[in-house]
Amino acid sequence: MMDETTFSSGSMYSSGEEELLASEGLRLSRSTRWRERSRHVSYEPAMLLFCFALSLSGQSHTELTHQVMYQTCRLQGFERHDCLLVGTDATPPGVEEIEALVKPAAASVTMVIVVIKSVIPGFGALWLGAWSDRHGRKPVVVITSCGLLLTYFVHTGLNFVSSFVQLNPWYYVAAYVPFAVPGGMVVIGAAVFASLADVTNDHNRTFRMGFMKAAMLAGSLAGSFSSRYILEWTGDTTLFVIATACVLVGVIYTGLYVEDSIIPSSDSELGSSLVELFSTRSIEDIVQTASRKRARYVWWILSLVIGCLTLMELAAGYNLVEFTFTRHRFDWSLKQYSRFWAVENGLVVLANILGVWALKSLFDCIDTLVALVSIISAVVCATIKAFAVDGWQMYLATEISFLRGMEMVALLSVCAYFVPSNEIGKLYALIFSVVGLVTLTSGPAFGFIYESTVGRIPEFYNFAVAGICGGAFVMLGFLQWLVNRRNQPELLL
């Protein structure tokens, strides 16, 4: 049996924040059943299934775009055989005029889909993130994952019906609403990591978070790898059926087997909790959390954490141009690049399990040092790639820098040290929302950089990655200086 201190957050916060925590009426469950189950049953299997489903269906984005163009073409009154050729590589001259008329309307539909998938979840995450601090992490995960399940049910139906019935392309937009409005994977990720912050301490928190991220990356990697074969052997509808089944299993697992890490106060009832979900109190809580004065540099430390993670997410936009670079420089096929991509991301999975475990357990590294090692590895990787003249050197770069990708879990763990349990959900929701919005701009930004330099220095985007990661390194150094000023010996480098 583990003692009570095992589940202490270890957070360093002021007496005023202690009073706020008590006034919220939140407490960690002290029941033996919850303690024992929380050691062995967590969200990792569900998150793996959710990420697998999203990555699996995400690979059919090209097919979705073609469906939107086809349905838009039919809605404008053009013949079926002409509409089937719109947006394909083999567009005959007679169909080019039709495509010019169809593209603007289809682009409006796809643009709204992007906004719904990428922008709206950020606002929903802020709302539900604050709500989870008062009423629990598990309800937030269940509500949002049920929205994901409904979205996949609708998408599966649309893909089946669209093969023989004309549909309004805006139905595809509506399909994303049930998942996006509650916050999507942004709020699920924030709630899951907040749950880990609740039930772990300063000794095991980073490893547990690293294992969670590894499960998510493994699901995404498996979905991307298998989607091509599923599409070739079956079809788009079958792919969505498989994705829907995975989400359904994940929802059932979460609902039946995962225990919540937050026990609301005794006067908190389900009805009033759901009513409060639609109140403005959640937004007020977010504003108060962001603007509250915090003693001993905590506000600046948290701001630097957000800034560092934002820069690292911005640097991740290179993924959208790297295949083009490898095809231009090394004449790689899509199959060759996919193999390299799998190796690179597989090493990130191992880094978040074995790397975090080794640095924390064997070398007794603090979280800021773990993040520092990860960022330095990213700089080294990008620099070697920039000077690569042969394909094997790309593999060399990713193998030398195999400790990349750990900075997120390390810095989330740092936040849990400084923020009380009744605010960690709001803070993580804010972080995941900002990171999600940056993802919208990182890909186009690197696309612009590559297109502007491909004629003279095609590898320049790698120097841009190294520079952005260098900026994150500087932020982390300043963050560590502030931590040192707090005179906390256990956090010193």
Give the pLDDT band (50/70/90) at residue 9. Answer: very low
pLDDT in tens, 467-478: 999 999 999 999
What's the pLDDT score for residue 59?
A: 57
What's the pLDDT score for residue 27?
A: 43
**Terminal C-alpha separation, the chain:** 33
Q: Is the pLDDT of residue 262 over 90?
A: no
| DSSP alpha helix (H) spans, 183-297 | 184-199, 205-233, 236-257, 270-277, 281-291
The residues pairing with 263 across neighbouring beta strands, listed in sequence order, are 27
What's the pLDDT score for residue 96?
A: 75
State the chain's mean pLDDT as an integer: 84
pLDDT in tens, 359-371: 999 999 999 999 9
pLDDT in tens, 400-438: 999 999 999 999 999 998 888 888 998 999 999 999 889
pLDDT in tens, 440-462: 889 899 999 999 999 999 999 99
What's the pLDDT score for residue 445?
A: 94
What's the pLDDT score for residue 235?
A: 79
> Could you tell me if 407 and 384 are in contact, meaning their C-beta atoms sit under 8 angstroms apart?
no
* Ranges 31-45, 161-175, 336-350, most confident: 336-350
What is the spatial distance between Cα 243 and Cα 53, in angstroms, rounded to a whole number? Answer: 4
Q: Which residue has the higher pLDDT, 311 or 488?
A: 311
- Give just the sign of the alpha carbon dihedral 133, 188, 204, 303: negative
Q: Is 115 exposed, middle or buried (0-12, 13-18, 19+ CB in 10 A)?
A: middle
Residue pointed to by tokens 């990171």:
435
Q: Is the pLDDT of residue 154 over 60?
A: yes
The mean per-residue pLDDT over the stretch 222-244 comes to 87
Q: Is the pLDDT of residue 35 over 50?
A: no
At 27, is the secondary structure helix, strand, or coil? strand
In one-letter notation, the amino acid at residue 207 is: F
Please tell me the least confidently modeled range out of 106-110, 182-186, 316-320. Answer: 106-110
DSSP 402: T
What's the pLDDT score for residue 264?
A: 62
Q: Is 92 exposed, middle or buried (0-12, 13-18, 19+ CB in 10 A)?
A: exposed
Ranges for all domains in the chain classified under CATH 1.20.1250.20:
292-493
> Could you tell me if 424 and 136 are in contact, meaning their C-beta atoms sit under 8 angstroms apart?
no
Q: What is the CATH number of domain 292-493?
A: 1.20.1250.20
What is the spatial distance between Cα 244 and Cα 236, in angstroms, rounded to a whole number? Answer: 12
The mean per-residue pLDDT over the stretch 279-289 comes to 67
Q: Which residue has the higher pLDDT, 16 or 165?
A: 165
What's the pLDDT score for residue 81?
A: 79
The mean per-residue pLDDT over the stretch 240-264 comes to 91
What's the pLDDT score for residue 349?
A: 96
What's the pLDDT score for residue 144?
A: 94
Residue-wise burial string across 310-324, b where 16 or more C-beta atoms lie within 10 A, e elsewhere: bbbbbbbbbebbbbb
- Give just the sign of the alpha carbon dihedral 445, 448, 451, 452: negative
pLDDT in tens, 43-100: 999 999 999 999 987 755 666 777 788 888 888 888 877 787 776 666 666 677 788 8
Q: Is the pLDDT of residue 5 over 50?
A: no
Taking Cα atoms as reference points, which of 334, 368, 353, 359 lies closest to residue 492? 368
What's the pLDDT score for residue 133?
A: 85
What's the pLDDT score for residue 318?
A: 95
What's the pLDDT score for residue 168?
A: 86
At 458, is the secondary structure helix, strand, or coil? coil
Q: What percent of the chain has pLDDT over 70?
A: 82
Taking Cα atoms as reference points, which of 205, 280, 229, 199 lies closest to residue 37? 199
What is the spatial distance between Cα 288 and Cα 133, in angstroms, rounded to a whole number? Answer: 14
| CATH class of the domain defined by 43-290 | mainly alpha
pLDDT in tens, 120-146: 888 878 788 888 888 889 999 999 999
